[in-house]
Structure 1
Amino acid sequence: MGSCFSKHPTSENFSTEVKVARYEGPVVVELFSSLGDANSPEAEMLFSRLGRGDFKLEMPVILLAYHVDYWNHMGWKDPFGSSLWTARQKAYAEALQIDDLYTPQAVFQGKAQCMASVEDKLLSRITSAPRYPGLEFQATFQRPTENSLQVTLTGHLNSDVDSHGVDINVALYENGLVTDVENGPNIGRVLTTDYVVRKLAKLSSVKNISADTPISETLKFALWDGFDSSKCGIAVFLQNDSHHIFGSQDIKLPKDLQVKEEEE
């Protein structure tokens, strides 16, 4: 994701701290799609190209792909589809006053949307989206067990938060997923997808704090079979009750994150 990616200093094999310098904030683009929808693969390819920097955008972007589950009736079940992501799309539809759910849909900073498979519209929405100060967190990753990931974030929001408050959300995503589609509209295709959200959790809720107020919080994710830290990253973003996103940060996981060994 261009300049969003962070550097990874050497640390213990089971714990890695990532330091990220202050930078102008990125645009969060959320894709709602399904591998069971004939129109979604084109949007997924555009998403991958955005992540590679093919379009030479002036602003960094944070990409999150949510696979919905309402296309599963077409004869094939998207292995990454979830009712949680369908519910998230429904919440955006209500906030943006959209009558019907559809895929592929892109949502920009929680404030605007368009058909995600139309390249010109997608790029135009990104370049016109509002931008906010980027978050400034250090991340420490640990694997207490084979099936869990612990993330500790310490730093500042770089924006004042008023009495209305915001949630600090963390999405865990995975790149380089290859799927053989065995049925449905995309039968016979081998589809590669990136930035697929596997987990989403609220780190904390904050209000009435200044931009430089120190924050330190920890959360834990349950992991899936075949988890590979070298293919994963987290997106941290502030979101209010209106679903608007006001600041964000992308952090790649270390490539060789190991399970913490028990101390004798």
Structure 2
Amino acid sequence: MKNSILKTTLYTGLIIVSIVLSSFTIKKVIENKKIKTSKEGFAVLELFTSQGCSSCPPADAVLGKYAIQNNPNVIALAFHVDYWNYIGWKDPFSKAQFTDRQRNYANLFNAQGIYTPQLIINGKYELVGSKENEINNLINKELEIKKELNIRIKKASISNNLLNIEYDADINSNIVVNLALVKKKEFTSIKRGENNGLKQTNYNIVYDFKSISNSAKSNNNANFQFKSEWLASDFMVIAYLQNTKNGNIIAAAKNEIN
């Protein structure tokens, strides 16, 4: 009986020690993960996509993963282009302005043309937007690079159907400030075209976009139209600095709307 009690006591003690050590190990793993994700760099992901493109939903889903993670150093934007609207389904988020932006990238990359789904990372790399492993590798590469300049959104507030934005930025003659009004999530039932019947979820959809050059007398202020039926909590503002000569994105920030 005594031996049985002794064995039970020793066994219980070993279990307690094991639990304590396991808890310590788990805590250290969590801490290490936090350290690994606390990096100097950033990655701006610009996806050129369309609801009329049958190849795009997988890329939309990949972008959605980064949007949902809400990592302050990984900033996702979906630019819906308009050149697939003719094949049966007009993408409600598409704009010719976004197609023009993609064409500008094609010129910078000396590409033969444009396509969807195309992902641009920090204005440096382009690849098919559904290649998740390659995207992860490039993001991790960019997160290791310390940014040299900064941009900060000081204020994003709504008054009289205008979203007013104030920002601080390190800029020079070769740098523009890009501002995007982004809707975090939207559901669409697609009823025609290549994705007919699909119930599509899109993330971080660019509703409006503007680039402000150093020569523009903006006084670090800008605004977007904001419809009265929109909810501020459904949107956010993204700002990023871009070199006009090579297209490289050199600083970025995002902010909720007050």
After TM superposition, is the score higher than 0.5?
Answer: yes
Q: Which has the higher contact order (CA 8 A, sep 6+)?
A: 1
Match of 1:46 in 2: 62
2:47 is the counterpart of 1:31? yes
Query: What is the 5 A alignment of 1:203-242?
Result: 203-205=212-214, 217-224=220-227, 226-242=229-245
Secondary structure at the counterpart of residue 187 of structure 2: strand
Which residue is equivalent to 2:26?
A: none
Aligned to 1:111: 124
Structure 2 unaligned regions, length at least 5 = 1-38
Question: Offset at 1:204?
Answer: 4.5
Preserved contact between residue 65 and residue 196 of structure 1 (Cα < 8 Å): yes
- Aligned partner of residue 159 in structure 2, secondary structure: coil
Superposed displacement of residue 233, structure 1:
1.1
Distance, in Å, in 1 between the alignment partners of 2:227 and 2:153 is 25
CA distance in 1, matches of 2:180, 2:94: 15
CA change 1:40–1:123 in 2 (3 A) is: same
**TM-score, normalising length: structure 1:** 0.75
2:74 is matched with 61
Distance across 1 between alignment mates of 2:187 and 2:64 = 13
The match for 1:5 is none
Give yes or no for contact 1:26–1:249 (8 Å, CA) kept in 2: no
Q: Secondary structure at the match of 2:114?
A: coil
2:22 maps to which residue?
none
For 1:225 and 1:47, locate their aligned partners in 2 and report how far apart those are by CA, in whole Å. Answer: 28
CA drift at 1:85: 0.4
Shift in CA distance, 224/69, structure 1 to aligned 2, threshold 3 Å:
farther
Which residue is 2:204 aligned to? 195
Quote the residue 1:165 is aligned against.
Answer: 174
Judge conservation of contact 1:238–1:246 (CA < 8 Å) in 2: yes
CA distance 1:45–1:102, change in 2 (3 Å): same
Instruction: Sort the Cα spacing of 1:226 and 1:237 in 2 relative to 1 into closer, same or farther, 3 A.
Output: same
> Greater helix share, 1 or 2?
2
* TM-score, length basis structure 2: 0.76
Looking at structure 1, the residues matched to 131 and 165 of structure 2 have their Cα atoms a distance apart, in angstroms, of: 36
CA separation of 1:122 and 1:174: change in aligned 2, threshold 3 A: same
RMSD: 2.4
What is the rounded CA distance, in whole Å, between the counterparts of 2:149 and 2:182 in structure 1?
Answer: 19
Residue 181 (str. 1) matches residue 190 (str. 2): yes
Q: Tell me how far apart the structure 1 counterparts of residues 248 and 225 of structure 2 sit (CA, whole Å).
A: 27
Q: Distance in 1 between matches of 2:97 and 2:77?
A: 14
The answer to whether the 8 A contact 1:115-1:121 is kept is no
SS of the residue 2:79 aligns to: strand
